[in-house]
Amino acid sequence: MWIYFILLIVQLFHFGCGVKLGTCYQDGNCRLPSCFCGGKSAPGNLEPSEIPQMIMFSFDDAVTGEIYEMYEKLFSRGRLNPNGCPITMTTFVSHNFTDYKLVRSLFRKGHEIAVHSVTHRTPTTFWKQASYNQLQYEIVEQRSIIAENAGVPVRNITGWRSPFLQPSGDIQFTLLQENGFEYDSTLTIATEKGFSAKRWPNTMDFGWQLDCNVLPCPFGKYPGMWEVPVQMLEVGDSGNGCLYADSCRPATMEEAFQLFWVNFHNHYTGSRSPLFFTMHPSWLREEHNMKALNYFFLTILHYYHDVYFVTYQQHLAWIKNPTPLSDILRFAPWKCDHLRYEPETDKDGNGHNGVSSISNCFPYLFLVLSTFPLFYTKIFFDKYCLLY
């Protein structure tokens, strides 16, 4: 309780006296691998052409049988990054309704398991006002539950995201740091005039220096603790964006595909800052969303050899040790020898597995994307592309 009181005093001091957190200068008062200012500059001062385009998918809430099946389809065994390892994602797991056998299976396939509370309770004001003890239960107990029930070592569970993206201010960051977490992914960054902010994550050595979109944000400094903010996706020319892909609510497969494609294209042809797609898996119950995402994976994996789907942990490992594309095949944190991965066998005997199973549709897709508006692509999707 006294820690909470001290933090309150710090917050009052911060407001009342105009105390500054200090300015972060990369390679000055902040050095990798333990400190990174984040923002628009790439780590290692690499040129965009030297940076692998990293795409991080994160899914929140319970892992159930239905949800697991969706993950299995999207991250199926034949789908490999350019280094030959399976594409991976991060799932922030809350306790209720979660089947921990399935969590264990996801972990063994190389996906990252992160923490998303025991109760996930409503209302959101609970999280805004949570006490130290309440939040400790939600964060630390859920990590223990995952470890014990899914057999994931505690040292491998290093990330936290608050339910509803509702921060709990300094209590949250104090708890995460005290308990050895590597990163938080709760704070948010809005679009800039309708465009994704395209920022790199930062350590909290100099605190949170951007606008606080959802109060209360932390005021303190947390050296070495990473904040991987949820960044708004951009949506066409509307000037609007969405933090969760769910709230963009595309009405058709074309619109959903465009959501993925526009954001990818703008990152890939721009600074190659990391691209985050944040969503609830329930969003994939809409068939057109599932098909669009599936098709996005297939398109990227087929055409791009400098794009990687990795976990948050793998992403942070790259920032700590920014490795240019020319050396990326030797980058140890992205290797998968420990998974004992074996390429999927051709079970049905027709030469189809993973990406190659729909290779016949790609010439058509390429033609369609480069020639016609997206409106017409559905005809070609349905006719030529075996999406499941």
Q: Which is nearer to Zn ion, 271 or 282 (CB)?
A: 282
Q: What is the DSSP letter of 249?
A: -
Buried b (16+ CB within 10 A) or exposed e, 311-334: bbbbbbbbbbebbebeebeebeeb
Of 51, 53, 61, 250, the residue at the interface with Zn ion (CB under 5 A) is 61
Q: What is the DSSP letter of 238?
A: S
Give the range of 6-14, 60-68, 221-229, 371-379 binding Zn ion by CB under 5 A: 60-68
Q: Which is nearer to Zn ion, 118 or 301 (CB)?
A: 118
Q: Which is nearer to Zn ion, 30 or 245 (CB)?
A: 245
Of 7, 56, 60, 70, the residue at the interface with Zn ion (CB under 5 A) is 60
With CB under 5 A, what is the number of residues at the site for Zn ion?
A: 3
Smallest gap from residue 118 Cβ to Zn ion (A): 12
Give the range of 30-38, 55-63, 197-205, 359-367 binding Zn ion by CB under 5 A: 55-63
State the residue number with the nearest CB to Zn ion: 60
On whether the CB atoms of residues 312 and 59 are closer than 8 A, the answer is: no
Smallest gap from residue 62 Cβ to Zn ion (A): 9
Site string for Zn ion, 272-301 (x = CB under 5 A): ------------------------------
Site string for Zn ion, 137-176 (x = CB under 5 A): --------------------------x-------------
Q: Which is nearer to Zn ion, 120 or 198 (CB)?
A: 120
Residue with tokens 């976990």: 311
Q: What is the distance between the alpha carbons of residues 202 and 226, in angstroms, rounded to a whole number?
A: 6
Smallest gap from residue 102 Cβ to Zn ion (A): 17
Q: What is the distance between the alpha carbons of residues 38 and 315, in angstroms, rounded to a whole number?
A: 13
Q: Which is nearer to Zn ion, 76 or 98 (CB)?
A: 98
On whether the CB atoms of residues 300 and 307 are closer than 8 A, the answer is: yes
Residue with tokens 């594309």: 325
On whether the CB atoms of residues 218 and 169 are closer than 8 A, the answer is: yes
Q: What is the distance between the alpha carbons of residues 368 and 357, in angstroms, rounded to a whole number?
A: 19
Smallest gap from residue 60 Cβ to Zn ion (A): 4
Beta bridge partners of 231: 189
Which residues, including other chains, have CB under 8 Å from residue 87's CB and lie 6 or more apart?
75, 79, 80, 81, 297, 301, 308, 309, 310
Per-residue tokens: 361: 């549709």
Q: What is the distance between the alpha carbons of residues 9 and 19, in angstroms, rounded to a whole number?
A: 12
Smallest gap from residue 326 Cβ to Zn ion (A): 39
Q: Which is nearer to Zn ion, 61 or 254 (CB)?
A: 61
Coil, helix or strand for 205? coil
Smallest gap from residue 94 Cβ to Zn ion (A): 6
Q: Which is nearer to Zn ion, 127 or 260 (CB)?
A: 127
Q: Which is nearer to Zn ion, 117 or 299 (CB)?
A: 117
Smallest gap from residue 354 Cβ to Zn ion (A): 31
Smallest gap from residue 116 Cβ to Zn ion (A): 6
In a 13 Å sphere around the CA of 357, the CA atoms on its Cβ side amount to: 21
Question: Which residues form the interface with Zn ion (CB under 5 A)?
Answer: 60-61, 163
